[in-house]
C-alpha cells in the first residue's frame, strides 16, 4: 500500500492517466481486504476487554449474552471475508456470461433448462445483481432451446464459475401422460465478461454476420424488421446471437462483446491449462458427466458430486438458494494467495 501511495505522489505519474487508473484499482483491491480485517480485529479486541469486565462483575452474565451475540456476528464477518479472499482469480471480480443448453430429450430437457435459468435469475436477484438476456430461443411446447445472459455485479463470475458443467434432473415428467420418471440434462457454460481495455484481434473476414427477426422474450417489438444479429467466428466455430435490443447496431455491439469474451476465454485456455474450467468442461450432456443431480422422485435430494454437499429442500435451491454449493466449491478448489 505504501509503495502505491508513493507512486501516486510522483509528479510524472500524472502524465499517464491509464497508469493512475491501474494504481488506484490495485489500491482499492488492497483496501477491500485491509479494511474488513481491521474492522474485525478492532471489534474482537473490544469484545475481549468486554468479556474480562463481564466476568469480574456480579451481574456480568447479563452482558455475556449480548457479547456472545456480537461474537457470532464477528464469526459471520470472518467467514464472508474468507470467502472473498478465495475469489482471487484474475477475472473473479468481473461480470459473468452464462449460457444454458438443454441436452437430448426434447421438451423434457428444454423445460429443465428453463428451470435452471429461473434458478440463476432468482439467485442474482437475491444478490442484488442485474441480469440481461442476450439471446433466448423458446421451445415449441415448453422450456427453452438455448439462452445466453449476463449477470452484472461484483464477483459475479467468481461465484458463478462453480456452476459450469452438466446438471441432471430426475423427476416424474409433467409432459408424460403415463406419469413415468424421466432423467434430463442441461449444460451450463460460464465465462467472464472481458474489460474493454483487453485487446482481442478479431478480423472482419473471419466473421459471418446474419440478421433475422427477433422472437421470444424481449423480441416482440421487432417482428417487422430484422434487428436480431447472429455472428459466427469462422476459425473457431463460436456462434453468438443477440436479439434483445431494438437496434440492430446495438445487438451487434452486444454480440461482439460476448464473442470477444468467449475468444479471450479460448485463448487463455490454450495458453494455460489452469483456465480449463473457465467456460465449463464441455463433456457430453449425458450420464456420468454431471456436476450436480437434482432428484425429485422417488425421494427429494440435490447433491453436488464435486463437493458431496447434499440439500433436501429442493424448492429452496430451485428458487435460487445455491450459495451452499458455491461456497463449498470455492473452499475446495480455490486457494488463498
Give the pTM: 0.76
Shared domain check, 185 and 81 = no
All three cell numbers of 68, joined, read 456472545
The model's pLDDT over 216-241, given as tens digits with 9 standing for 90+, comes to 544 444 444 678 999 999 999 999 99
Residues 179, 284 within the same domain: yes
Domain count, the chain: 3
Out of 236, 255, 271, a domain closes at 271
Query: Mind listing the pLDDT tens digit for each residue in 82-138?
Result: 888 888 888 899 999 999 999 987 899 999 999 999 999 999 999 999 999 999 999
Residue 91 in domain = no
Alpha helices (H) along 57-173: 60-86, 107-127, 156-160
Domain that holds residue 39: 2-86
State the Cα–Cα distance between residues 158 and 162, nearest whole angstrom.
8
Q: CB count, 10 Å around CB of 280?
A: 19
Query: Which residues make beta-bridge pairs with 333?
Result: none
Amino acid at each position: 500500500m505504501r509503495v502505491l501511495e508513493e507512486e501516486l505522489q510522483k509528479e510524472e505519474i500524472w502524465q499517464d492517466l491509464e497508469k493512475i487508473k491501474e494504481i488506484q484499482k490495485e489500491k482499492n483491491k488492497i483496501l477491500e481486504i485491509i479494511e474488513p480485517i481491521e474492522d474485525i480485529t478492532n471489534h474482537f479486541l473490544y469484545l475481549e476487554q468486554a468479556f474480562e469486565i463481564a466476568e469480574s462483575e456480579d451481574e456480568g452474565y447479563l452482558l455475556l449474552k449480548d457479547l456472545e451475540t456480537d461474537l457470532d456476528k464477528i464469526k459471520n464477518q470472518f467467514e464472508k471475508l474468507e470467502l472473498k479472499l478465495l475469489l482471487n482469480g484474475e477475472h473473479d471480480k468481473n461480470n459473468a456470461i452464462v449460457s444454458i443448453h438443454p441436452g437430448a430429450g426434447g421438451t423434457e430437457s428444454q423445460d429443465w433448462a428453463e428451470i435452471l435459468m429461473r434458478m440463476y435469475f432468482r439467485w442474482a436477484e437475491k444478490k442484488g445483481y442485474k441480469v440481461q438476456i442476450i439471446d433466448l430461443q423458446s421451445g415449441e411446447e415448453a422450456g427453452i432451446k438455448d439462452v445466453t445472459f449476463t449477470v452484472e455485479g461484483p464477483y459475479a463470475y467468481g461465484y458463478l464459475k462453480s456452476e459450469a458443467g452438466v446438471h441432471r434432473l430426475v423427476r416424474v415428467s409433467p409432459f408424460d401422460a403415463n406419469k413415468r420418471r424421466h432423467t434430463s440434462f442441461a449444460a451450463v457454460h460460464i465465462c467472464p465478461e472481458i474489460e474493454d481495455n483487453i485487446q482481442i484481434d478479431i478480423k472482419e473476414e473471419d466473421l459471418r454476420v446474419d440478421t433475422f427477426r427477433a422472437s421470444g422474450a424481449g423480441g416482440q417489438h421487432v417482428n417487422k424488421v430484422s434487428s436480431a444479429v447472429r455472428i459466427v467466428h469462422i476459425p473457431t466455430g463460436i456462434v453468438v446471437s443477440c436479439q434483445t435490443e431494438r437496434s440492430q447496431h446495438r445487438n451487434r455491439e452486444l454480440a461482439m462483446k460476448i464473442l470477444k469474451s468467449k475468444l479471450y476465454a479460448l485463448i487463455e485456455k490454450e495458453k494455460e491449462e489452469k483456465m480449463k474450467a473457465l467456460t465449463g468442461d464441455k463433456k457430453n450432456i449425458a450420464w456420468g458427466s454431471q456436476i450436480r443431480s437434482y432428484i425429485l422422485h422417488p425421494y427429494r435430494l440435490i447433491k453436488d458430486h464435486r463437493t458431496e454437499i447434499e440439500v433436501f429442500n429442493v424448492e429452496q435451491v430451485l428458487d435460487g438458494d445455491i450459495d451452499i454449493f458455491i461456497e463449498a466449491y470455492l473452499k475446495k478448489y480455490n486457494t488463498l494467495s
